[in-house]
Amino acid sequence: MRLHARSDVVRPADTPSSASPSASCARSARRASWRHRSARVIRPRRARASFAARSSTDQHRAGRDSARFSAAALASGCSSSGCEGACACRGTECQCPSSGDCLVDCIGDCDLTCNGSGSCDFRCVDGCDTACTGSGACVVTVGPLSSVACPGSGGCDVLCEGDCAVDCPGSGECIVRCPAGAVCTLDRCSGDVVECGDGVAVCNGACPPAR
């Protein structure tokens, strides 16, 4: 697992395992990419830093996704005006309304946009393109080889299920969660990137609480 930063990376001194979660954070440049191989942390060399992912993070998200996308929660499809509450859809069918919350399970040809004031909850398959341009919170789970852009003000919480690329030029907090064995990039951060360890990096915010 390797994290590559564009400029110098500053990490705190080693602390006992009883230290607070924030003590494991490190601040890096505006672009970072990392590969998670195991739970062993490799100390930085030059502009490199490394961190591992908590298995409990993936388990937590998997449990939440199961509840979010249960058959009872999803409608049979999207209306002509977009998702009304929740829907399972494909391609250009997946459009969120300009107001109100939106929950989408994209099953193919995914090109999702959250551009309104409501919160968006997206899940999509491999090769997904997602943009969170609005003012509402955006929670995204993407398959391998996907890209997510977060230029909005509402913030993003992105779980990558494989290799992914995330751009965070917006003013909101942008969290990227990288699984074991994957290479994830966090680019164009409008502020500082915080490396939280356990497969998590944050742009414009602090490390999320341990789960």
76-115: pLDDT as tens digits: 334 444 454 556 788 877 777 777 888 889 988 888 888 8
pLDDT on residue 127: 93
pLDDT on residue 209: 86
Give the residue, 166 or 94, on which the prediction is more confident. Answer: 166
Number of Cβ atoms within 10 Å of the Cβ of 153: 13
DSSP letter, residue 24: G
pLDDT on residue 102: 87
Which amino acid makes up residue 48? R
Check the CA dihedral 95-100-105-111 and report its sign.
Answer: positive
Q: Could you identify the residue written with the tokens 């299920």?
A: 161
Give the residue, 117 or 169, on which the prediction is more confident. Answer: 169
Where does residue 27 rank: exposed (0-12), middle (13-18), buried (19+ CB within 10 A)? middle
Which amino acid makes up residue 31? R
Three-class SS state of 209: coil
| 22-48 pLDDT, tens digit each | 333 334 434 455 444 332 222 222 222
